[in-house]
């Protein structure tokens, strides 16, 4: 029930953020750009390309800036619904307030993850390439990519979920942690 409501609200808010980004992009995109995307000619002047690129960057900035509060509302909401029996709206509100109060730790957490994840994923890919290359000579890239995805899913997803649960316990149950 309430978990589905969280999912639907998250989808709706993401759709609104995406629609806002598309509107911002379309304010910069003129008809010649849109028709050049559809045709193979694609002859645009440098000024038109710069305008379109700036419009695309601004649209991306709008989308990411709207996505941040949406993510803040959804971060702990499933845990609050499942473990604390809160309603979806109350859980999203409490999650947003908790993320605001802990903005600096979440920023550090996000930056470390943003920097560390690609490095670990690249190392994992190259290690799997070496292992697969020793076993098979044909198609080692695709086998390595598949093996990397499987290992990453088996390792990084549980570690990510555990870190979210630890943050949930630390933020919402400080009285238990203190005693």
For the stretch 23-72, pLDDT in tens is 888 887 765 565 565 555 555 566 666 777 788 888 899 999 999 999 99
Sequence-ordered list of residues with C-beta below 8 angstroms from that of 114, at least 6 positions apart, any chain: none
Threshold 0.85, pTM exceeds? no
Q: Would you state the structure tokens that stand for residue 159, as one six-digit string?
A: 């570690």
Q: Average pLDDT of the chain?
A: 85
pLDDT at 5: 95
> Angle 1-63-31 (CA atoms, 0-180°, nearest 5)?
125
Confidence band for 100, pLDDT divided at 50, 70 and 90? very high
- Overall average pLDDT of the 69-89 stretch: 94
- Quick one: what percent of the chain has pLDDT higher than 90? 50
């Amino acid at each position: 029930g309430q978990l589905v409501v969280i999912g639907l609200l998250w989808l709706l808010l993401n759709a609104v953020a995406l629609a806002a980004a598309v509107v911002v992009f379309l304010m910069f995109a003129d008809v010649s750009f849109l028709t050049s995307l559809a045709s193979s000619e694609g002859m645009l002047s440098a000024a038109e390309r710069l305008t379109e690129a700036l419009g695309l960057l601004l649209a991306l900035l709008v989308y990411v800036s709207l996505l941040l509060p949406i993510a803040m509302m959804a971060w702990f909401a499933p845990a609050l619904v499942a473990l604390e029996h809160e309603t979806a709206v109350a859980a999203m509100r409490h999650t947003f307030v908790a993320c605001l109060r802990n903005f600096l730790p979440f920023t550090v957490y996000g930056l470390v993850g943003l920097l560390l994840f690609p490095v670990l994923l690249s190392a994992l890919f190259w290690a799997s390439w070496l292992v697969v290359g020793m076993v098979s000579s044909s198609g080692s890239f695709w086998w390595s990519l598949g093996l990397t995805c499987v290992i990453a899913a088996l390792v990084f997803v549980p570690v990510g979920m555990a870190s979210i649960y630890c943050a949930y316990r630390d933020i919402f149950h400080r009285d238990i942690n203190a005693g």
